Amino acid sequence: MGISTFGLTRNKACRPPLNLNGVSLYPCDTFCLTELESVLRSVRPDAIVHLAAAGVTAGGNDFDQLMHCNIEYTLNLIRAAANTGCPAIIHTGSCFEYSAVNDRKLTEQDLVSPFSLYGSTKAASVQLAIGLARHLGMPLTVLRLFGVYGKGESDKRLLPTLMRGLQTYQPIELTDGTQIRDWMYIDDAATGFCDAIAQFERLEKFTVYNLCTGEGHSVREVGETLADAMRRPKSLLRWGVKESRKGEPAMIVGDPKRFQDATAWHPNFDLSLGIEASLKHSRSDTFAAA
């Protein structure tokens, strides 16, 4: 028996069930409690994965939007799930909830002390989600994502920006590129969520699991790996021209052991494979490696 996937959209032109790449989309314009309950009663999902968030891209510091999307909508969804009898919900956290640790991998026991407004609202959403779900008896687990990249990501993010510049041989002004991050290709992230749903009973409820590769790569390594894959000169990458963002941690790399022990999930894409896959699935075929 196949698995049916449903999603919510704020596109008012959408009329259910509009099929998009195997996902049936349902309009939900306000994400208020009654609207969410109506959709969930129609769909009757076996599990909910809550991925929506505001503020991920640089400059996303609209406080009202962060509060509404990252906190209010999250709590409304949990209440609606409990009120309609959904048996499982997975909420998505962020590595930006953690305090900066520059000499080792971050574990779930590390201090939650965000350095950004986005991270603060995500941390609040996780704590409130756990508290509300426990209060309502709604089975909930949190997967805390690290640096997801690949097909479908915003044009404003690093990899698409580098792709555009390298494709047209335009110099790209960058920071020194020494920031080390845990880069996870989107297919590995999706597989992690699928494994979490399939093995939900094995996951501890009302708690957090890191979903990450456990491998750190610098921004500079990512840029130069991409340039090699596109067969473009690395000299187009002008490292050190721009200043790094104030307060930005030097290293954000997670430890996935706890989640791996519970589900046996492991990433299938190393950095080179992930970048090749990103090029293959980029929006324009002109980004494909020659």
Convert the pLDDT of each residue in 6-44 to its tens digit: 999 876 555 555 556 788 888 888 899 999 999 999 999
- Tell me the C-alpha distance between 254 and 76, whole Å: 29
User: Strand 180-181 vs strand 217-218: parallel, antiparallel, or unpaired?
Assistant: antiparallel
Q: Which of 53-67, 128-142, 185-199 has the lowest mean pLDDT?
A: 53-67
Average pLDDT score over residue span 72-78: 97
Tell me the β-bridge partners of 141: 90
- 158-167 helix and 219-230 helix, angle to the nearest 10 degrees: 40
Taking phi first (over 0 means left), then psi (-120 to 50 degrees means alpha), and beta for anything else, what does residue 44 get? left
Taking phi first (over 0 means left), then psi (-120 to 50 degrees means alpha), and beta for anything else, what does residue 258 get? alpha
User: Strand 251-252 vs strand 48-50: parallel, antiparallel, or unpaired?
Assistant: unpaired
**Residue whose pair of structure tokens reads 């400059």 in the numeric block:** 59
The confidence score (pLDDT) of residue 234 equals 97
The confidence score (pLDDT) of residue 235 equals 97
- 33-43 helix and 73-83 helix, angle to the nearest 10 degrees: 50
pLDDT digits (tens, 9 = 90+) for 228-255: 999 999 999 999 999 988 878 899 999 9
Distances (CA, A) of 63 to 32, 118, 119, 137: 19, 9, 12, 30
Average pLDDT score over residue span 93-118: 93
C-beta atoms surrounding 169 within 10 Å? 9
- Tell me the C-alpha distance between 102 and 222, whole Å: 19
C-beta atoms surrounding 24 within 10 Å? 14
- DSSP one-letter code for 145: E
Average pLDDT score over residue span 276-285: 78
Provide the residue count of the chain. Answer: 290
The confidence score (pLDDT) of residue 79 equals 98
Amino acid identity, residue 251?
M
